[in-house]
Each structure stands twice: as C-alpha cells, then as structure tokens.
Structure 1
Amino acid sequence: MAAFRIVSPLIFATFLVGQALAAEISATRVLEDADASEALAVNDECWNANAETQQPYHCALSALQRQGARKTAVVEESTREASFFKEEEGLESQAENVGKDDGVPYLSGQEYHDHHHRTCSGPNRLNLHGYGPVQLMNAKWNVPGELAGAVRVEANVVKPSITGRTYFTSSCASSYKSEDFVALRLLGKRFSYMSDVSGTGCGCNAAVYFTSMHGATDKSKCHDYYCDASNVCGANCAEVDVQEANMVAYRATLHGKGDIVGNGTGYGGWAPHQSVWTKGEYGPDGSRIKTTKPYRVSVEFPTTPDGHLTAMTVTLLQEGRSLSLAVGGYSRMQEISKALHAGMTPIISYWKAKDLTWMDGKDRKSGVGPCDLKGEGSKCGEHVKFWDFKLETL
C-alpha cells in the first residue's frame, strides 16, 4: 500500500500541471522514492499553503526530497501544445513508465483516474436549461484525509464514481473560490433532471442536493469550501436533499444548519422520518417507479404570496407513472427559505457505507423499509448517472 501511494504525489502534481488548455510544458520531472505516508502529508501541507498560486509540482518534489530518497527515476517530457484531454493522455503515458521496471507498483493512466479526481469533470460545460452553461468542479477530498473519487461529464451526462462529489460552478479554475460556485435562487422554481441509480443496492447513496457554498468564508477541512448540515468537512450550513437514493430506497430531506436529522420522507430509513411510499411502488419491480430504469426527478419550492417557502415537493416520473412527496411543517422552514432565496449550490455525490440504515433500513418501530440492520455497501455500481438538468419558474 505504501509503495502504491508513493507515486501518487508526482502523478497528482503532473496531472494538475497538465490541466491547462493549450498548455506549453517543458520540464524534467524527478521522482524520488520515499516513505509514502509522510511524503503525502508534507505534499498536502505544501499544496494547501500554496492553494492560491497552485504549485503542486513544486510541492510534490519538496515532499519527496524531505524523505531521504533511495532511488530516482527521471521522466523527460518535451515541450508541446495540446487540448485538455490530449494533455491528459500524454501525462498518463509518462506516468505509466514511472517505477515500471524496478519492482515498485505503479499507477497506469487508467488506474490513476480510478483512484484520483480531475479537478474539472471535463473540458465541456454542462447545459442547465433555463439557466445556462455551467462547469462542474470536483472535490479533492471525500472526507478529510480520504481522496474523493472521479466525476466525469460525458455527452452532457454526469457520471460520479464511488466517493465522488462535484459542485456546479461558473468556471473551473485551478483553485477553489467560493464566489465561483453557482447560486441558484430556488424559491418559486422547479429544478429537474434524469436519474439512473441502476446497480445500487443497500448501502449505496446516489445524491443530488443543495447547500450554501456560494460566498462561504470557511474553506473547511476539505479545502474546497464544502459545507453541509452534517459537518462532514468541518463546515456547517443549511442543506436541501432532493435525492438520497439507491434502487430500493429514496429520501428527500430539509436540514437547517447543524441539524443532521432534519425533516424528510420517502421510502426507507428510521423515524422521525416516515415512509410515504411502499416497496411495491418504488424498487426494482416497482409498480410506479422501476429503479432498474432511469426516472425523472422534479423538485419544486412553492411559496406563500409574500415569498416564503411552504414546502419542498418531489415528484418522480417514469413512462407516464409518478410518485410524489412533500416535506413541510419543519420548525426551521424560515432558515431554509432564506437559504433558497440567497441562492444554493447544486451538488452531486455517490458514496457507500456498510451501515446506511438511517436511509434505507427498516424503521425500528414499524419495521417498514427495504434493508436489514446492516447495509451491504459493496453492491454499488461503478457509477451512477444524471442528465438533462432544467430550471423553471412555477
């Protein structure tokens, strides 16, 4: 495992250098074999300290040089100009040769992308109908200390891999800036998209949600301004969960800042949340929503005449059939209303846990729910898919 991670700082650094569009690169890159865990710690410390100037290549070398190198591999790379993906392909090819003949495990280009993220999900913008084109910027860390998975945009389809998380932004720069995060003002609006959760069993969570990331001042322990109601990265804010789902469970929830439980409904999980759908309606053999196939998710935020949120309503649609739920009567509705008025950032994530029964388990009192006390967490597809995003006025 240590030898596996030893190559990571160089590849991570090389990859970030190669992200610039039509970039000219001329360099001799030196990889010094060292203790991986300590090298990574030094690299991260340096990377975070230089986040604004983005000098990851320098950081990777500094980290490795401090470890008393045992051997050196040199990769010569000639000057060239290339597009985003062409640049990546060239760097991956170079990465494949590092450590190849010395008995040290190395990361191929594909393995690199399987274990690390692209800061940008791709060179092309995602079209949000009714708003305009947006970029997706990926999280570096899933949780502090654990690298996030990859998220890609291919043909306007968002494809997060396990532990991947991505944010809607106005641009995808080399560093995270909270003012770049999209701020959708959602009161009186409808937000909808297509969702494909096929291949996700108990313990898998394919999520689409909003949090108050735009303009945040706390960079968080994930170093990207990510915040949510659960304090996952050490920063707290309001959270609106439109979808936390797999093939057997679905949950929509409103969370005030710091309120981990919140107020929600759907099918699966524990009280105080109540299931309003049934196994016969939502699931692989659902009579209303068959989760082996894609379905459309539509969330609405209706308001009173004076502009205050009355409820969050979510409707799933598939081949002429539908399932609906409404989340209202929340004690912190005014806080949610203010957050929606100010503008919230759309976030997509995909993760798993051995025990996700708060979302997909059987209720402890009624026994209603799809999954046993211990979720499986391993029967999760390689990725899930989301596409055809729309923003409309009610």
Structure 2
Amino acid sequence: MRSIVLASWCFCLFAAVSSQNVGTQAAEEPLNMPISVCSGPGNCQTEADGVVLDANWRWTHTTTGYTNCYTGNLWDNSLCPDPDTCTTNCAIDGVPLSDWTGTYGGSTSGNALSLKFVTQGPYSKNIGSRTYLLDSSKQRYRMFQLLNREFTYDVDVSSLDCGLNGALYFVSMDADGGAAKYPTNKGGAKYGTGYCDAQCPHDIKWINGKANSKDWVPSPEDANSGKGHYGNCCAELDIWEANKQSQAFTTHPCTTNDQTQCEGTVCGDNDSGDRYNGMCDKDGCDFASYRLNDRTFYGPGSSFQVDTTRPFTVVSQFLTTDGTDNGDFKEFRRFYVQEGRRIENSKVNFPGVAPYDSLTDEMCSATKALFGDIDDHKNKGGLKKMGEAMKKGMVLVMSIWDDHDVNMLWLDSNYPPNGDPNQPGIARGPCPTTSGEPSEVEVTQANAVIKFSNIKFGPIGSTA
C-alpha cells in the first residue's frame, strides 16, 4: 500500500476511542451500499451490502457509563492499567445514522459512498475515516476471492489535492473481524474490528480482542494517535491510492496469509531498523504512472489522458497462470473508462526497461533494480504469495487520510524529499516537497471528499 501508514484519526463523541465489548449508549446503524455481482457481460445482480466504520474511530467508554477509556492520544491509566483490565472495563459503541454525516463525514446515496476529510461534530473534530464493506447480512465483512476476476468502480478525486489519499484496497482480515477466534472481541465485523495491513500498524487500539495499551506511546505529531506494543499484520492489495495529482496500485505480500498479531522483529518496524526483517513487504511493488516516468497520463485537466477533475471508472483485473480460479496470480492489469472512452494503462517509460503496462513479477524486479530498491516483494514470495491471500478471500477497505509521518510525499512528490528527482523512482508526483503538512492540509482541504460508487465484481470481462 504505502511506504509509511499513519492516518490522522480523530476519536469523536467525548474524545471517542475503541474497544471490543459492545456498549448500549448508541445504536449501530451501518450505511447501505448496494454492489453488483456479475456472472457475465450485462448479467449482474444487485446485492444489498453495507458500510461499517472502523473500530478505531468509535466512542469507547466504561461498560457501565460514559467515562472515556482513552482521551486524545492517551489511555486512562486507572481504567486501563494493563490490557486485560482495559478489555474488561471498556466497551465500544455504535454509530447511528445521524452520526455518520454529522460526526464522521460519511454518507451514501444509492450505490455511492462519500467520505469527507474533516467534519466538525457536536463534541470534537473528526479527521479522516476508514470503512469496510459488509455483506448483505450486515453482520460480516464481504469476502472477495479476486483471482481470475475483475473489480470495477467509479471514483471522484477532484477535491483531493497534495497530501491527501483517497484509498480503496483489500486486506486479509477475518470475515467476522476475529470474533470467533478471540472471545473477548464482542464487536466483530458489525462494529468494524479486526483491522490489519502490510505495515503491521501499532496504532490499532484493540488487537485480537484485547487492548493494545501495553507500552503505549502517544504520537508527538498526532494529537489523536499513538503506538502500542503490538502490531497487526496481514497481506494487502492496494487497488487505489490517489489524489488528483498522482496515483498508485500496489501488491504487498506477507509470509503469512492470515491476520497475525506481531511484536519485535517480525513486525518489521522502521524505528528499530527492521523494515525488511518483518513478515510483510512494506514497500510493495507499485505501478505508479508518474513514478514510472509518464507525467502526462494522470492529473487535473484535459491535457491528461485521465482527467482527475471529472469522475472516471477504474477496472482492475487479476490474471492467473492457467486462466482459472485455482491458478497462481501472475498479473495485475488496469484500464480506465472516462465519459465512454476506454483508456489503456500507462507504460514504464525508462530507457533500458521494457515498456511494461501491468504489474508482474518481471516488472517489479526490473523497476526495483532500476530504482535501487530492495526487492522485498520477491523476498516475501511475489505475486504467487500475494495470490494465496487473494484466494482465501480479502476484505474491502475504503478510506480518506493524511500522513503525519512523511506528509504523503511517497505518493505525490519526491521521496525521499532530499533525493535527486532526476534519479529514477524518486519523483512520484508533481507536488512540492513542502506540501502535505497535516496542520495545513486539515485546514486548506477540510472539505475534501472522496467518492466511490458503482462497484462491480465478476469474471474477467464482465463488469466494464
């Protein structure tokens, strides 16, 4: 997905927090979001799915009252002196429909989901959000088996500028959020629990049904976030990370195909120098048009092939070695449709490198060698390993976030910022290296909205 993953999360309603027990102070009401499941061209059926808010954004309080267990970026030491006591004392509450718009900035209309970046709620300011697609039961995450399939949606990134990321991606979460595995997880998928990704994030407040309060360190950059002792790892398939200036799609295999709590070296933490010693490929293999030296493919205005001032359709295809659901994952193909015009994906545009127009193991190795990057993608099993996770089923995530670590420069500017932009791989977008500072972005782009709509899923050639 991304080189560094840190969203600016605000826990609203009395400085809201997250837990695994279920409170009774607010009703849980997921948003309705129908999708189309296709069996062939022109043969699609509508299924009444839903959208649930991630547990990290929710109000968590004592099980018997309204007292917060976590305020700002700190656990309450009296309620949470240790993870077991915290788990017993705290309950996560629901998100009623009125709070989706008024507190968290989320809404649906027909088959479209809109996520607003900053929302001033009745008690505090919410920044960013992360949501998951539920199946029609509204009790479990929809599981997508993506091999030998294509996934299509419409997207509008026109209000997202430098420093923002409107993301749509898949991770190897459990369909029930881990509720069956971990008895202390009373919320399950219905309450948005169980998140994991290839960055093995430590800022998840509840992992495997217990509070991640051990050794919790508040973030010096983010007043609403911190890091606990444990991380939560799993494979990640980034279909879409983008603003109107730049975009990327990325595969992140892990040595394990299931959600796995980590501690120590296997987390691959940057702070300990273990980025490439962990269980997941944190860099991933990315196909990013600007980084691959096509500067006219994607951007705001009619001079670009994909004009980001207007909505467009994104079609992703996951091809296998033998053209069946049981084959190994061999190729991630992409094309776009805008106002009835099909737009083929951009190509790698560096002398001495084949003009790849899709993500394959060969493309990954060639571009990483050109960029001088460690090929951790290959070390972690490449597309074959990524395909094993896809075969088991993955959960769809849709989010909007800013970056308190490196200001999203890895997506839309030069990264590292002191690198030579003439060196292949350094320039990732047209944004200045001074852009993306959250304190600025959260003011100047407060009204930014990412909109995903018209999701379709089915065999190759059935959705576009």
Q: 1:141: which partner in 2?
A: 56
Q: 2:165: which partner in 1?
A: 205
Q: 1:23: which partner in 2?
A: none
Aligned residue among 356, 366, 372 for 2:432? 372
Task: Give me the TM-score of the superposition, normalised by structure 2.
Answer: 0.55
Aligned residue among 353, 358, 380 for 1:326? 358
Q: 1:48: which partner in 2?
A: 19
Does the 8 A contact of 1:289 with 1:321 survive in 2?
no
Does the 8 A contact of 2:153 with 2:313 survive in 1?
yes
C-alpha spacing 1:242/1:7, structure 2 compared with 1 (3 Å)? closer
Matches within 5 A, 1:353-364: 353=403, 355-363=407-415, 364=419
Does the 8 A contact of 1:121 with 1:137 survive in 2?
yes
TM-superposed deviation, 1:146? 7.1
Q: 1:8: which partner in 2?
A: 13
Does the 8 A contact of 2:33 with 2:112 survive in 1?
no
Q: 2:330: which partner in 1?
A: 310
More RCO (CA 8 Å, sep 6+): 2
TM-superposed deviation, 1:121? 4.3
**One-letter amino acid of the structure 2 residue matched with residue 375 of structure 1:** S
Q: 1:387: which partner in 2?
A: 453
Aligned residue among 244, 248, 251 for 1:247? 244
The 1-side partners of 2:458 and 2:298 are apart by: 26
TM-superposed deviation, 1:127? 2.4
TM-superposed deviation, 1:276? 4.8
C-alpha spacing 1:373/1:303, structure 2 compared with 1 (3 Å)? same
2:145 aligned counterpart, secondary structure: coil
TM-superposed deviation, 1:145? 7.0
Does the 8 A contact of 2:12 with 2:57 survive in 1?
no
Give the paired residue count: 281
Deviation string 1:8-65 (CA, Å, 9 cap, x unpaired) is 34xxxxxxxxxxxxxxxxxxxxxxxxxxx7xx6xxx5xx73632xx3346xxxxxxxx
Q: Kindly indicate whether residue 155 of structure 2 is the aligned counterpart of residue 192 of structure 1.
A: no
2:411 aligned counterpart, secondary structure: helix
Unaligned runs of 5+ in 1: 10-36, 58-117, 269-273
Q: 1:159: which partner in 2?
A: 114
2:397 aligned counterpart, secondary structure: strand
Further displaced range: 253-262 or 137-146:
137-146
TM-superposed deviation, 1:311? 1.5
Instruction: Name the structure where helix makes up a greater proportion of residues.
Output: 1
Q: 2:400: which partner in 1?
A: 350
The 2-side partners of 1:7 and 1:125 are apart by: 24
**One-letter amino acid of the structure 2 residue matched with residue 128 of structure 1:** S
Aligned residue among 332, 340, 363 for 2:390? 340
Does the 8 A contact of 2:33 with 2:113 survive in 1?
no
The 1-side partners of 2:281 and 2:20 are apart by: 32
Task: Give me the TM-score of the superposition, normalised by structure 1.
Answer: 0.64
Aligned residue among 302, 307, 332 for 1:290? 307
Aligned residue among 271, 277, 297 for 1:281? 297
TM-superposed deviation, 1:137? 0.9
Does the 8 A contact of 1:153 with 1:159 survive in 2?
yes
C-alpha spacing 1:145/1:157, structure 2 compared with 1 (3 Å)? farther
1:198 aligned counterpart, secondary structure: coil
Unaligned runs of 5+ in 2: 1-9, 39-44, 59-69, 74-102, 118-127, 205-230, 255-279, 346-356, 362-376
Does the 8 A contact of 2:335 with 2:342 survive in 1?
no
C-alpha spacing 1:199/1:313, structure 2 compared with 1 (3 Å)? same
Compare CA radii of gyration and give the structure with the larger one. 1
1:390 aligned counterpart, secondary structure: strand
C-alpha spacing 1:145/1:153, structure 2 compared with 1 (3 Å)? farther
TM-superposed deviation, 1:251? 0.7
1:387 aligned counterpart, secondary structure: strand
Q: 2:37: which partner in 1?
A: 129
Does the 8 A contact of 1:127 with 1:389 survive in 2?
yes
Q: Kindly indicate whether residue 245 of structure 2 is the aligned counterpart of residue 224 of structure 1.
A: no
**One-letter amino acid of the structure 1 residue matched with residue 384 of structure 2:** Q
Deviation string 1:253-300 (CA, Å, 9 cap, x unpaired) is 0012322211112134xxxxx42531x221112431110000111111
The 1-side partners of 2:307 and 2:11 are apart by: 45
RMSD: 3.2
TM-superposed deviation, 1:6? 12
The 2-side partners of 1:151 and 1:170 are apart by: 18
Does the 8 A contact of 1:265 with 1:276 survive in 2?
no
1:181 aligned counterpart, secondary structure: coil
Deviation string 1:222-248 (CA, Å, 9 cap, x unpaired) is 971011111232311000001100000
2:130 aligned counterpart, secondary structure: strand
TM-superposed deviation, 1:167? 0.5
Q: 1:82: which partner in 2?
A: none
Q: Percent identity?
A: 23
**One-letter amino acid of the structure 2 residue matched with residue 265 of structure 1:** F
1:129 aligned counterpart, secondary structure: strand
Q: 1:30: which partner in 2?
A: none
The 2-side partners of 1:6 and 1:241 are apart by: 25
TM-superposed deviation, 1:150? 3.5
TM-superposed deviation, 1:120? 4.1
C-alpha spacing 1:49/1:205, structure 2 compared with 1 (3 Å)? closer
Deviation string 1:125-158 (CA, Å, 9 cap, x unpaired) is 4223326321111113259977994322112210
